[in-house]
Every structure is written in C-alpha cells, then in structure tokens.
Amino acid sequence: MTATENRTVPPFGLGTFRLKDQVVRDSVRDALDLGYRAIDTAQGYGNEAEIGETIAQSGVKRGDLFITTKIKPDNYGEGKLVPSLRESLDKLQTDAVDLTLIHWPAPNGPVSAEEYLGALADAHSQGLTRQIGVSNFTIALLKQARELLGDVPIATNQVEIHPYLQNRKLADFARQEGIHLTSYMTLAVGKVMEDEVLKDIAGAHGATPAQVALAWAMGQGYSVIPSSTKREHLASNMKALDLKLTDEDMERIAELDGQGERLANPASVAPDWD
C-alpha cells in the first residue's frame, strides 16, 4: 500500500485510551490475535511506542492494519505538528499511519485552526498519513475545517456518542454532508452494562448489552473503537459486527438519549458543543 492510498475507516477497531505500559501491550496483542485489524491511539495517550512494539512482534502485516493516531494540542504549531507526527511514526514503527486526527479543536488555544489544519494537510501531502480527520469538532468547526482544507477530505470526526449522548444534531449534519463519524466511549464507561433496556434487547438476541450498544452505533454508520483489558471482553465486543438489531430495538435505544452527561469535556480544549 502506498502512503497516498485512501482506505475507508473500518467500522470496528480497538481503542487504547487510558491503557499504558504492559496493559496496552497485552490488550493490543490479544486484539490482534483475535482478529482486530484497526488500532486507535493518540500522542496524548502516551502508549504509541508500546503499541508499535506489539504490532512489530505480532507478525501481522502492516498492510493489513489500519492505524490511527491523534495530534495533541501542544504540537499544533506549524513548526511542531509534522515533526511530532514523524516522532509518532518512529514510535509506531511505520512509515505512515492510515489516519491522523486533530485531537481537540482547542478553541481558546494559541494556535489557530488555519495553522494546525494547514500543518495537518502538509503532513498528508508529505505521505506521513494516508488520510486526515478531526476529533471533537462541532458543526461550526466542521464547516470551518472543510473550508480550510479545500480538496483534502475529512476522513472522520471522532466524537463521544453513546446511548445516553446521541449527538443527533451533529450526526444529522454529518450525514447530510457525507462526513463519517467515529463513536468513542460507545459503552459510556460501562454504564450500558447495567441498562435494563439494553439488557432486555440483548436477551432477545442472545447478546450482551455491550454488543447491543456497539451494534446500535455501527447500525447508524458510525465506526466504533471499544477498549478492554480482558481478552474475553475483546472477543465478545467483536461479535457486535454480526449482531443485527431490529427497527424496534433502535427506537428503544433512541429513547435513552439525554439520560447521561457528557463524559469527555476538558475545559481547556473543549468547544461550545452543539
């Protein structure tokens, strides 16, 4: 695969937020062994080197993998972004990642969107990343990003979406504009496991509430990147790919919207949410 070849963002992958040291090594190793082929990380997670080592030791061909990383706000400056991505590539032991995202819009930060999106586009033109995208962008910020990036497409906007925060206004806009969404925290940090509605739907399908939540998100066209430190949960989550929910199931889950607070909302970098 050449560095400029585009690939669709996979519907299902492994998230590595909060996973460090041997924990992330074990999680990535088990996931690859089970058949996961998309890995999501970020500079801010502090685990790129461990992930790179584990991938190298796995024997899985680089061309079979879809690796995503994210640029942290400290590296948004024009003179920092490309060098920081090269450092990420060294840690991940690859010549190019499949997707690089701006991690947070940082509206009150010292670097403008024009500067950091321009630097990200430059990284793309240099072949350091096959696709580029954003994370935690609102409708207004997506419009601005599209204008600034011009012909360079936004591969995805990675945002918090789970049954209790369905982000419908943003989702409707993205759907109308053909912008793909990736859902993070799809399991609401475990809250879905205890939800009576999801447990009832799961029981009808011989599934788990986690599988139901993941299938619900994928059923709307979102990609999902659940994480786990337990091999059995990694295997179980993957079965969501084969779970087909009914229209009634989807309607029941839609009614759960608004029952949970936003889980990821750091004041220093979060935008004015839709």
- Domain positions in the chain: 14-188+222-227
Is 222 a known active-site residue?
Answer: no
Alpha-carbon distance of 42 to 4, in angstroms, equals: 21
Sheet holding 129-135, edge to edge: 14-15, 38-40, 66-71, 97-102, 129-135, 154-160, 181-184, 223-224
Alpha-carbon distance of 67 to 65, in angstroms, equals: 6
Determine the 3-state secondary structure of 270 from DSSP.
Answer: coil
Query: What are the pLDDT digits (tens) for 35-62?
Result: 999 999 999 999 999 999 999 999 999 9
Q: Running DSSP on this structure, what letter comes out for residue 55?
A: H
Short-list 158, 156, 70, CA closest to 120 = 70
Q: Phi and psi (nearest 5°) for 227?
A: -120, 160
Determine the 3-state secondary structure of 19 from DSSP.
Answer: coil
How is domain 14-188+222-227 classified at the CATH fold level?
TIM Barrel (3.20.20)
Q: Which of 45, 76, 184, 222 is catalytic?
A: 45
Percent of the chain with pLDDT over 90: 95
With contact defined as beta carbons under 8 Å apart, do 155 and 180 qualify? yes
Task: Report CA torsion sign: 131, 135, 141, 143.
Answer: positive
Query: What are the pLDDT digits (tens) for 212-225?
Result: 999 999 999 999 99
Lowest mean pLDDT among 63-67, 136-140, 201-205, 265-269: 265-269
Span 12-26, mean pLDDT? 98
Q: Which residues are annotated as a binding site for substrate?
A: 103
Residue 260 in this model has a pLDDT that exceeds 80: no
